[in-house]
Amino acid sequence: MGDEKSLTVEERLERAKLPGKKAPGMHAFYRGKVETTLKCAVTSFDDFGIWYTPGVAAPCKEIHADPAKAFEYTNKANAIAVVSDGSRVLGLGNIGPMAGLPVMEGKALLFKYLGGVGAFPIVLDTQDTEEIIQAVKWIAPGFGGINLEDFANPKCFEILDRLRDELDIPVWHDDQQGTASITLAGVINAVKFVGKDMKKVTYSVIGSGAANIAFVRILIKAGVPAENIILVDSKGILHPGREDLEADKENNPYKWKYAVETNGEGRTGGMAEAIAGTDVLIAASKPGPDTIQKAWLEKMNSDAIAFVMANPIPEIWPWEAKEAGIRVVGTGRSDFPNQINNSIGFPGIFRGTLDVFATTITDEMAIAAAESIAKTAENKGLNEEYIVPTMLETDVFINEAVAVGLKAIEQGIARRPLSEADLRKEAETKILRAQAETKALMDAGVIPPPSQ
């Protein structure tokens, strides 16, 4: 990323295509990215009688008498189900559960390597809301938490809300809460870097899907006045005069709520009208590169910030945004500076949640994570190309875990209260172990080097 400015447009475009070109061959070489492995010792034939029958009957009886012992005797306390119906996968749309499986495996990889969390991809061959909710409830006893992934809007809201109410383990929709957390972290640092006040600047938010609806909710809860936010969907700026939103408010109450509460100036029009004269642009909409025009960005306020987060191609190429005068640019991709991607959030957030056996993940826990992410980067020195940590900075996940665990304890939703020091030790041990295991398997040749 350091030589970005020296590249021609053609070279930049070619480099942006590399991950997609390499991915099929790499996936085929390993035949997927995750598998189950053992965490207990097998030293002799006698061990089988302990780990399985007849010895296993003893912990089974104890769990039957006291279900809470499942957290002590099984991997439940460190197991996450990554559940999807494939109805809205990345920027690919409704490609179904089978085609979405590589994404769910990738999610499980990040959970394990970055957060030390055992995650299992589960794709459901249904896109019916009630069937999805029932399926998750059926599998919940085997897991310490549920990560909902790539569910279409608006059913994703009902699925999350219902499961949070009906289960006693954390249920998290990463496209909502995860993206909101890392976006808030980026906003905290970017606004601070350009010398503005997060609670006084104006925001243009392009896209009214799960990610941005959750971001707006979290942004407001973090202290930003709702009237400072201008939200846009595929038909234009949200405002109380949008009869289509009012007519659909039973099906999608979230958009109508923000049509009424945001946009204090009463703006109308489309993306261009929303973006003009704002300080911060947050886009999670249609993949580009021409979704957002350079001319629109030129009309933003000085020292503007733009997070263009559509995948796999951002709404505008970052170099074009810089040419338009944007001071800080972030995307959802790891091959450009300032990756505003939920992968910086969910591994650490779940690590802290699981370590205290929390019963849910609150918005306050998500905000605590965002503040921790921002502080980790700030302590290392902010600049235009570094406003949030990268996935290779292990300390960010440890710091998040501590912050999230402490917030859960403060809110009274932790079954296992720990001290700050113990939370840090737990997170460090599990995360560093996961990374050491991968390295050891690579060094031993058990995981072979990639073929390309």
What is the set of active-site residues? 52, 107
State both tokens at 91. 């920027």
154: preceding bond cis by omega (within 30 degrees): yes
Catalogue the E-assigned strands of 161-252.
171-173, 203-206, 229-233, 236-237
CA–CA distance, 16 with 336 (Å, rounded to integer)? 9
State both tokens at 93. 């749309």
* Helical axes 346-355 vs 363-380, angle rounded to 10°: 120
Q: Are strands 229-233 and 236-237 parallel, antiparallel or unpaired?
A: antiparallel
Comparing C-alpha atoms, which of 355, 372, 365 is closest to residue 404?
Answer: 365
CA–CA distance, 201 with 218 (Å, rounded to integer)? 16
CA–CA distance, 122 with 124 (Å, rounded to integer)? 7
54: preceding bond cis by omega (within 30 degrees): yes
Whether the Cβ atoms of residue 197 and residue 221 lie closer than 8 Å to each other:
no
